């Protein structure tokens, strides 16, 4: 048996635990424009695993939501793989192409960290994540921008 040591920024365990490397937590919180956030990433994995499977499909509100979710996320995942194969720039980092679970986790990061870019470049993905989370992060920054303009 070969024992290896691998540095990780975070892990999501199937029994509800999340393990985070504090330096990566700080790094992700210091620069929201980075689009990477280990806390959001690992929490997305926890949500994904609620049904016992780590497959990029969290528990959705109704049965009808599953078909649209599968259609949109499959298309977006395949688009990312195509863009990476062609060396095209992408909003989602390469790690999202590992599998459907990582795609959902990385998409969650950019949904919250880069909402305007996600909404502009991936409107259907944004809409699915907005429906799932019941939040519109693009609205948060828009209201902050208008508040700053009124000062």
In the chain the domains, ranked by start, together with CATH numbers, are 10-149 (3.40.390.10)
Tell me the pLDDT tens digit for each residue of 67-113: 999 999 999 999 999 999 999 999 999 999 999 999 999 999 999 99
Tell me the pLDDT tens digit for each residue of 109-139: 999 999 999 999 999 999 999 999 999 999 9
The Cβ of residue 71 has, within 10 Å, a number of other Cβ atoms equal to 12
Rounded CA separation 71/25 (Å)? 32
Q: Note whether 111 and 127 are within 8 A (CB).
A: no
| Cross-strand pairs, 18 | 12
Q: What is the pLDDT of residue 4?
A: 38
Confidence band, pLDDT 50/70/90 cuts, at residue 15: low
* pTM summary value: 0.80
Confidence check: pLDDT of 5 > 70: no
């Amino acid at each position: 048996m070969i024992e290896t040591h691998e540095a990780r920024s975070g892990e999501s365990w199937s029994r509800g635990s999340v393990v985070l490397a504090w330096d990566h937590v700080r790094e992700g919180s210091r620069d929201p424009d980075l689009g990477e956030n280990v806390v959001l990433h690992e929490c997305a994995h926890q949500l994904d695993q609620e049904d016992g499977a780590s497959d990029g499909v969290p528990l959705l509100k109704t049965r009808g939501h599953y078909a649209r979710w599968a259609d949109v996320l499959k298309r977006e995942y395949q688009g990312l793989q195509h863009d990476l194969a062609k060396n095209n720039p992408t909003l989602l980092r390469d790690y999202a192409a590992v599998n459907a679970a990582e795609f959902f986790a990385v998409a969650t990061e950019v949904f919250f960290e880069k909402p305007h870019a996600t909404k502009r470049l991936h409107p259907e993905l944004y809409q699915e994540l907005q429906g799932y989370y019941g939040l519109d992060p693009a609205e948060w920054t828009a209201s902050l921008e208008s508040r700053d303009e009124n000062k």
